[in-house]
């Protein structure tokens, strides 16, 4: 198998970096939501927000990069519906990676707590303090997150199925070292 990268190294790095951050940010969010108010909770709340802002920034970089560096089309035979499903999940994941940090930021503003990135850079409050709106955005933030959790499970399951069941090169596109090893 010849090593032709479907995604650039930058795109691959951004994919895994964002994946890693999401895998930290999500559980931190779940844990802190269930905690009683304490200094540790305030710390986790801040870390969660900083991580979320970082994901948002990286996503913007990733989208710009993707527009400038179109990945090669997937050259794997599969049913049409699977192609469509894959495309839909990818688009939705991009939308959620954008909408989730945004809803978190807005909900924080509406609840009257400004987001200060890394404790240094205050982000503007786009909404005035409004309890009802804050609760609504909080509910939205949760729904979007549960949706993303389900999509990520589907995304990972599909990637593993392609690699271990179909044994095609789909996962190798995002993990080139797997291809290198099998090609030897």
Partner 1 sequence: MNKFIAAILLLLSFGAAAAEYSKVQADSSTITFVSKQMSVPVEGAFKKFTAQVRINPAKPEAGVAHMVIDLASIDAGSMEANDEVKGKSWFNVAEFPRAEFVSSAVKALGAGKYEAAGKMTIKGKTMEVRAPFTLKEDKGVLAIDGAFVLKRLDFGIGSGLWSDTSVVADEVQIKFHLLLK
Site for partner 1 in 48-107 (CB under 8 A): none
Cα angle at 154 between 151 and 160, to 5 degrees?
A: 140
Contact 21, 51 (CB under 8 A): yes
Residue 120 interacts with partner 1 (CB under 8 A): yes or no:
yes
Q: Which of 1, 20, 31, 42 binds partner 1 (CB under 8 A)?
A: 42
Please give, one letter per residue, the 3-state secondary structure of 134-165. HHHHHHHHHHHHHHHHHHHHHHHHHHHHHHHH
Q: Which of 30, 112, 157, 180 binds partner 1 (CB under 8 A)?
A: 112
If the CB atoms of residues 3 and 114 are measured against partner 1, the closer one turns out to be 114
If the CB atoms of residues 129 and 180 are measured against partner 1, the closer one turns out to be 129
Select from 13-21, 42-50, 56-64, 139-147 the region that touches partner 1 (CB under 8 A): 42-50
Residue 3 interacts with partner 1 (CB under 8 A): yes or no:
no
Least separation, in Å, of the C-beta of 121 and partner 1? 10
Please give, one letter per residue, the 3-state secondary structure of 50-98. HHHHHHHHHHHHHHHHHHHCCCCCCCCCCCHHHHHHHHHHHHHHHHHHH
Least separation, in Å, of the C-beta of 47 and partner 1? 9
Select from 84-92, 111-119, 137-145, 163-171 the region that touches partner 1 (CB under 8 A): 111-119
Which of 8, 20, 91 shows the shortest CA–CA distance to 55?
A: 20
Within 13 Å of residue 42, how many CA atoms lie on the same side as its CB?
7
Question: Which residues lie near partner 1 (CB under 8 A)?
Answer: 37-39, 42-43, 45-46, 111-116, 119-120
């Amino acid at each position: 198998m010849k090593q032709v990268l479907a995604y650039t190294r930058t795109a691959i790095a951004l994919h895994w970096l964002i994946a890693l951050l999401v895998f930290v940010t999500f559980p931190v969010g779940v844990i802190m939501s269930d905690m009683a108010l304490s200094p540790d909770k305030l710390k986790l709340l801040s870390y969660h927000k900083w991580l979320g802002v970082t994901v948002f920034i990286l996503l913007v970089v990733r989208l710009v990069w993707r527009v400038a560096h179109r990945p090669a089309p997937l050259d794997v035979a599969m049913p049409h519906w699977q192609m469509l499903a894959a495309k839909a999940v990818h688009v939705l994941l991009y939308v959620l990676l954008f909408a989730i940090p945004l809803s978190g930021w807005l909900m924080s503003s509406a609840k009257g707590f400004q987001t200060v990135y890394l404790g240094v850079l205050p982000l503007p409050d786009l909404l005035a303090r409004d309890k009802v709106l804050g609760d609504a955005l909080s509910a939205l933030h949760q729904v979007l997150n549960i949706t993303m959790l389900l999509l990520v499970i589907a995304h990972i399951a599909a990637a593993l199925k392609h690699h271990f069941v179909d044994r095609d090169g789909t996962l190798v596109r995002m993990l080139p070292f797997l291809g290198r090893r099998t090609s030897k």
